[in-house]
């Protein structure tokens, strides 16, 4: 009988500590959830939500004030997003506030930001529909980048035309250059000038219709697909079962990190930030290089 | 070929009957409460040191291994959350279950196997004591209830291991660390992972008992029963884990 | 334990009219070509000690395992206390099993329990009304019967083979069954202990009016305890009679058991 009570208390202790750990965790996690105890709903309509997901954060003036509760297609071109927002910020959101979908950090997670309206508008009500600005898509950025590159192409083309005309044309400038009345000393200089212009012409023709321009173009598109690849990778990482839940809450951690940065402006943390920027600039060209090699093979 | 196929079906039938018998007998008195508690003690309390050591090492190693990658992204501050999540969702349940498959399933397999071989099970039967109830029901119940508790310990100790790991490279106080861990946790991380540990426990006990209870005569079948119990239980753990993750993914 | 050792068994008043165990046409085979029992017919009467002889592997153990439903016979009728055990469900079978004691050939002590727990294990489960003191008293008494009162706190692993056998016997007797099936009760014991065990079997028969089947290779035990002897050969009962009759049998093979 002595032996029996000997193991009973150990077993009891074992089970009770286990239960306390479990219930304690549940309690604290539950407490965290209930921070959003009092909430209200807002709605916003978008053409595209660019991958916004349920559970993504809603930010107002850079503060997390709620989460995306539901996303619903209402017509073939519009999506209704339902937001749960803390009650105590309702008074700051005016009827002319604007919802936008943006990026949250490097990982490419989406966040819905609400920009405050003007002070004299009325406060939003429950379930109100606020205006929205279409999301800035990565693809759009890349498209506009491409247009700039195209424009540069046209400009260099025109420049080439001009210099060609200077060389061989019959215009006033050309006459001036070829006039016998000019002194021979200038002529020597002009020969030099002509040689360099020739080279410039060669360069610009190349640039205009040759390899360089298209190379630049393909670099841009590679850059685009490279970035997309990175974002895909990140999506894959996010979707992998292990880390999925983790990334869902990364913004929480991110917000905390920012707060930390603000608070403690120590060097170490600045270095981390620098690393991050370095990574951004370092990593993307790597990708495009790889892709460029592939496209050459093809 | 046909015979081996038939054997598979016969075995599956036996396992199903054996499992069905558990649910039939678990609710029917008399209950062997004392033996159940004794098994809980052996399975739960006595496995704690092993589980604690593995849990601590898993937490520590996971932290040390994840740190460089996260540091590259400048995301070292995510380390506590990431370690906690990996531990709670996946690593602690699976590693604990595998350890218990090695320790408990084989132990049960060998114990019941040798009882079978030395006619102790027959002896119970002829003295009109239901050996299934006394041996199987108590053990399966004990593993079903104790493995989850062990996993909670592994979680806690693993997260503490993570704290030690984080502090090797940086200086983070305990309170902030656990704050970050709790911040990153969600019910969705805890509840499905906990539910699956009950299944791990159930199958560890059931497979150990089945292999032992159905051991052939002869001492070499004791070793075989223990060995087969470990193999089958480990495999089952992975299969259940895969199913659990898929189901969780489907619904949430 | 027993006051007077006797060389030749005194005839005991056997109630020959009431058969307690009836076996008719019992067949049992393992696989296709290992037929162990090939139609055993056997009747055991109330209060009788039946000794079963036979070469090793002739199926003696299987025969008594069939009686308690540990082994299911292929065909054949086994009646215990007048009911065919093949027709019973688990509860009814258990009701009969409580009335039968079974001494295993290898003792089959529960390794994880002490001797005390081994003995108390069936007792606590079948006589729920007993207090802890009564259980303890019964345990001590049963151990006294087999001459091992000091072993009460030992684990089975700490006992010798002969001691295990006697503890097994004590565990069988503690429930005071009406039928006892002894599978080689004296094998592995020295001659003195063997004799004591045989006398114990005899004393139990007298005291409790038990019916017993005793499987043995020990002719001294057979001579002392057996009211009637049968010899199992090729899966059937080959010879039957009391000790003196079989000893003087015409069959040389039967006589060879008694040399
Ligand atoms: N589970 C089993 N599977 C296959 N064959 C078995 C099994 N149990 C017993 N046998 C066979 O049945 C036969 C009889 O076995 P049993 O144990 O009854 O012999 P026995 O007469 O008691 O011998 P011994 O005197 O040595 O104890 C043996 O030949 C054995 O090979
Ligand atoms: Mg035998």
Give, in order, the Cα–Cα distances in Å from A65 to each of A38, A89, A226, C118, C190.
11, 7, 33, 68, 89
B-chain CB neighbours of C177 within 8 Å are none
Cβ–Cβ of B73/A276 closer than 8 Å? yes
- The percentage of chain A sitting over the pLDDT mark of 90, rounded to a whole number, equals 1
A260 touching chain B per CB within 8 A: yes
Cis peptide before B30 (omega within 30 of 0): yes
Closest residue to B119, CB basis, from C98, C100, C104 = C104
Q: Domain-by-domain residue ranges, chain C?
A: 2-258
Q: Do residues A139 and A147 make contact, with C-beta atoms less than 8 angstroms apart?
A: no
User: Is residue B2 classed as helix, strand or coil in its secondary structure?
Assistant: helix
Report pTM: 0.70
Bigger pLDDT: A239 vs B155: B155
Chain A: partners with 3+ C-beta pairs within 8 Å: B
Say how far apart CA A60 and CA A66 lie, in whole Å.
9
Cβ–Cβ of C102/B123 closer than 8 Å? yes
- ipTM of predicted complex: 0.86
Cβ–Cβ of B187/A30 closer than 8 Å? yes
Query: How many angstroms is it from C60 CA to the middle of ligand 2?
Result: 6
Say how far apart CA B223 and CA B163 lie, in whole Å.
41
Question: What's the pLDDT score for residue A248?
Answer: 59
User: Is residue C77 classed as helix, strand or coil in its secondary structure?
Assistant: strand
B-chain CB neighbours of A53 within 8 Å are none
pLDDT of residue A211 exceeding 70 = no
Q: Exposed (0-12), middle (13-18) or buried (19+): which is C130, by Cβ within 10 Å?
A: middle
Tokens matching residue A111: 């966040």
User: Is residue A223 classed as helix, strand or coil in its secondary structure?
Assistant: helix
Confidence of residue A161 (pLDDT cuts 50, 70, 90): confident
A28 touching chain B per CB within 8 A: yes
Chain C: partners with 3+ C-beta pairs within 8 Å: B
Closest residue to C102, CB basis, from B114, B115, B126 = B126
Q: Do residues B82 and A246 make contact, with C-beta atoms less than 8 angstroms apart?
A: yes
Chain B: partners with 3+ C-beta pairs within 8 Å: A, C
Ranges under pLDDT 70 in chain C? 1-17
Query: How many angstroms is it from C215 CA to the middle of ligand 2?
Result: 8
Confidence of residue A289 (pLDDT cuts 50, 70, 90): very low
Question: What's the pLDDT score for residue C2?
Answer: 40
Average pLDDT over residues B32-43: 92
C201 touching chain B per CB within 8 A: no
Q: How many residues does chain C have?
A: 259
Rounded to 5°, the CA angle A77-A83-A87 comes to 155
pLDDT of residue A204 exceeding 80 = no
Question: What's the pLDDT score for residue C8?
Answer: 47
Chain B nearest-CA residue for A261 = B77
Question: What's the pLDDT score for residue A286?
Answer: 45
Q: Do residues A106 and A90 make contact, with C-beta atoms less than 8 angstroms apart?
A: no
Average pLDDT over residues A189-216: 67
Question: What's the pLDDT score for residue A196?
Answer: 74
Give, in order, the Cα–Cα distances in Å from A236 to each of A112, A230, A232, A282, B86.
21, 10, 6, 21, 17
Residues 6+ apart with CB under 8 A from A90: A40, A123, A124
Query: How many angstroms is it from C239 CA to the middle of ligand 1?
Result: 20
Closest residue to C97, CB basis, from B30, B118, B128 = B128
Say how far apart CA C211 and CA C243 lie, in whole Å.
18
pLDDT of residue B36 exceeding 80 = yes
Residue C30's beta-bridge partner residues? Answer: C34
The alpha-carbon gap from B152 to the nearest alpha carbon of chain C, in Å, equals 30
User: Is residue A240 classed as helix, strand or coil in its secondary structure?
Assistant: coil
Q: Which of B159, B36, B165, B42 is nearest to A22 (CA)?
A: B159
Residues 6+ apart with CB under 8 A from B232: B105, B207, B211
Average pLDDT over residues B10-34: 89
Which residue, chain included where needed, has tokens 């020990």?
Answer: C218
Say how far apart CA C236 and CA C63 lie, in whole Å.
11
User: Is residue C4 classed as helix, strand or coil in its secondary structure?
Assistant: coil
The pLDDT tens digits of the residues spanning C75-92 come to 989 988 888 888 888 888
Question: What's the pLDDT score for residue C140?
Answer: 92
Query: How many angstroms is it from B221 CA to the middle of ligand 2?
Result: 20
The alpha-carbon gap from B119 to the nearest alpha carbon of chain C, in Å, equals 5
Pairing between β-strand C49-54 and β-strand C211-215 as defined by DSSP bridges: parallel
DSSP 8-class letter at C205: H
The pLDDT tens digits of the residues spanning B159-182 come to 999 999 988 888 888 888 888 888
Tell the CATH topology of C2-258.
Answer: Rossmann fold (3.40.50)
The pLDDT tens digits of the residues spanning B185-228 come to 888 888 999 999 999 999 999 999 999 999 888 888 899 999 99
Query: How many angstroms is it from C236 CA to the middle of ligand 2?
Result: 16
In this structure, how many other beta carbons lie within 10 angstroms of the beta carbon of residue B116? Answer: 22
Cβ–Cβ of B129/C108 closer than 8 Å? no
Which residue, chain included where needed, has tokens 């990708």?
Answer: A287
User: Is residue A262 classed as helix, strand or coil in its secondary structure?
Assistant: helix
Say how far apart CA C249 and CA C247 lie, in whole Å.
6
The pLDDT tens digits of the residues spanning A270-283 come to 555 555 555 544 44
Bigger pLDDT: B142 vs A1: B142
Choose, out of B127, B135, B217, B219, the residue to mutate when testing the contact with C (most C CBs < 10 Å).
B127
The pLDDT tens digits of the residues spanning A80-128 come to 898 888 888 888 888 888 888 887 665 566 788 888 877 777 888 888 8
Closest residue to B45, CB basis, from A10, A33, A241 = A10
C-chain CB neighbours of B114 within 8 Å are 111
Say how far apart CA C248 and CA A105 lie, in whole Å.
105
Say how far apart CA B202 and CA B15 lie, in whole Å.
14
Query: How many angstroms is it from C108 CA to the middle of ligand 2?
Result: 13
DSSP 8-class letter at B29: S
Residue nearest (by alpha carbon) to ligand 1 atom 22: C61
Which residue, chain included where needed, has tokens 């079906």?
Answer: B9
Confidence of residue B43 (pLDDT cuts 50, 70, 90): very high
Question: What's the pLDDT score for residue A263?
Answer: 62
Q: Which residues line ligand 1 (CB under 6 A)?
A: B 217; C 30, 34, 36, 54, 56-62, 105
């Amino acid at each position: 009988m002595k032996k029996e009570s000997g193991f009973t208390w150990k077993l009891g202790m074992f089970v009770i500590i286990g239960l306390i750990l479990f219930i304690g965790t549940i309690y604290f996690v539950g407490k965290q959830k209930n921070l959003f105890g009092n909430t209200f709903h807002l709605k916003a309509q978008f053409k595209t939500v660019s991958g916004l997901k349920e559970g993504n954060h809603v930010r107002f003036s850079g503060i997390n004030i709620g989460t995306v509760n539901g996303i619903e297609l209402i017509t073939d071109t519009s999506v209704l997003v339902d937001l749960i927002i803390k009650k105590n910020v309702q008074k700051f959101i005016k009827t002319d506030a604007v919802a936008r979908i943006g990026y949250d950090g490097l990982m490419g997670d989406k966040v819905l930001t609400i920009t405050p309206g003007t002070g004299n508008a009325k406060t939003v009500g429950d379930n109100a529909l606020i205006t929205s600005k279409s999301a800035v898509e990565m693809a759009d950025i890349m498209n506009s980048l491409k247009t700039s590159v195209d424009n540069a192409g046209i400009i260099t083309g025109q420049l080439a035309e001009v210099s060609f005309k200077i060389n061989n044309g019959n215009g006033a400038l050309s006459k001036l250059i070829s006039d016998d009345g000019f002194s021979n000393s200038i002529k020597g200089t002009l020969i030099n000038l002509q040689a360099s212009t020739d080279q410039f012409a060669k360069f610009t023709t190349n640039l205009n219709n040759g390899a360089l321009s298209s190379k630049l173009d393909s670099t841009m598109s590679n850059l685009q697909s490279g970035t997309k690849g990175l974002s895909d990778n990140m999506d894959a990482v996010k979707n992998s079962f292990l880390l999925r839940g983790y990334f869902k809450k990364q913004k929480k951690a991110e917000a905390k990190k920012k707060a930390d940065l603000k608070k403690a402006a120590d060097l170490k943390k600045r270095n981390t930030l620098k690393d991050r920027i370095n990574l951004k600039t370092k990593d993307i060209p790597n990708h495009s290089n790889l892709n460029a090699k592939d496209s050459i093979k093809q | 070929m046909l015979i081996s196929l038939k054997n598979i079906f016969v075995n599956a039938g036996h396992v199903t009957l054996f499992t069905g018998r558990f649910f039939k007998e678990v609710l029917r008195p008399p209950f062997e409460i004392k033996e159940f508690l004794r098994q809980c003690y052996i399975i739960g309390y006595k496995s704690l040191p092993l589980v604690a050591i593995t849990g601590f090492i898993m937490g520590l190693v996971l932290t040390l291994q994840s740190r460089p990658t996260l540091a590259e992204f400048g995301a070292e501050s995510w380390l506590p959350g990431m370690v906690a999540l990996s531990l709670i969702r996946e690593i602690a349940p699976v590693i604990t279950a595998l350890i218990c498959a090695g320790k408990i399933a084989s132990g049960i397999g060998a114990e019941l196997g040798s009882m079978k071989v030395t006619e102790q099970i027959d002896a119970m039967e002829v003295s009109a004591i239901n050996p299934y109830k006394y041996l199987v029901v108590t053990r399966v119940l004990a593993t079903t209830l104790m493995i989850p508790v062990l996993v909670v310990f592994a979680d806690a100790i693993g997260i503490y291991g993570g704290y030690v790991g984080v502090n090797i490279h940086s200086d983070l106080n305990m309170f902030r660390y656990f704050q970050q861990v709790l911040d990153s946790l969600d019910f969705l991380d805890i509840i499905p992972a906990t539910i699956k540990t009950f299944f791990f426990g159930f199958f560890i006990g059931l497979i150990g008992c089945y292999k032992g209870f159905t051991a052939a005569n002869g001492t070499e079948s004791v070793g075989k029963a223990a060995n087969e119990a470990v193999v089958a239980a480990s495999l089952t753990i992975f299969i259940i884990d895969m199913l659990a993750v898929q189901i969780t993914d489907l619904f949430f | 334990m027993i006051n007077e050792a006797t060389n030749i068994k005194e005839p005991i008043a056997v109630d020959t009219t009431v058969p307690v165990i009836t076996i008719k046409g019992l067949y049992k085979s393992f696989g296709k070509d290992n037929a162990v029992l090939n139609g055993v017919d056997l009747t055991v009467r109330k209060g009788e000690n039946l000794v079963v002889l036979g070469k090793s592997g002739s199926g003696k153990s299987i025969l008594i395992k069939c009686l308690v439903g540990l082994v299911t016979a292929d065909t054949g009728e086994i009646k215990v206390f007048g009911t065919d055990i093949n027709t019973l469900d688990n509860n009814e079978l258990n009701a009969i099993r409580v009335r039968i004691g079974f001494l295993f050939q290898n003792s089959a002590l529960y390794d994880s329990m002490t001797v005390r727990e081994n003995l108390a294990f069936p007792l606590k489960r079948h006589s729920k009304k007993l207090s802890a003191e009564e259980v303890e008293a019964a345990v001590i008494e049963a151990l006294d019967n087999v001459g091992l009162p000091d072993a009460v706190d030992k684990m089975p692993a700490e006992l010798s083979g002969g001691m295990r056998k006697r503890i097994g016997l004590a565990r069988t007797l503690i429930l005071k069954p009406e039928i006892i099936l002894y599978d080689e009760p004296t094998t592995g014991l020295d001659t003195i202990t063997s004799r004591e065990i045989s006398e114990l079997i005899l004393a139990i028969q007298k005291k409790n009016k038990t019916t017993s089947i005793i499987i043995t290779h020990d002719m001294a035990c057979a001579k002392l305890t057996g009211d009637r002897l049968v010899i199992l050969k090729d899966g059937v009962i080959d010879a039957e009679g009391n000790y003196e009759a079989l000893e003087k049998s015409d069959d040389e093979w039967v006589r060879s058991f008694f040399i």
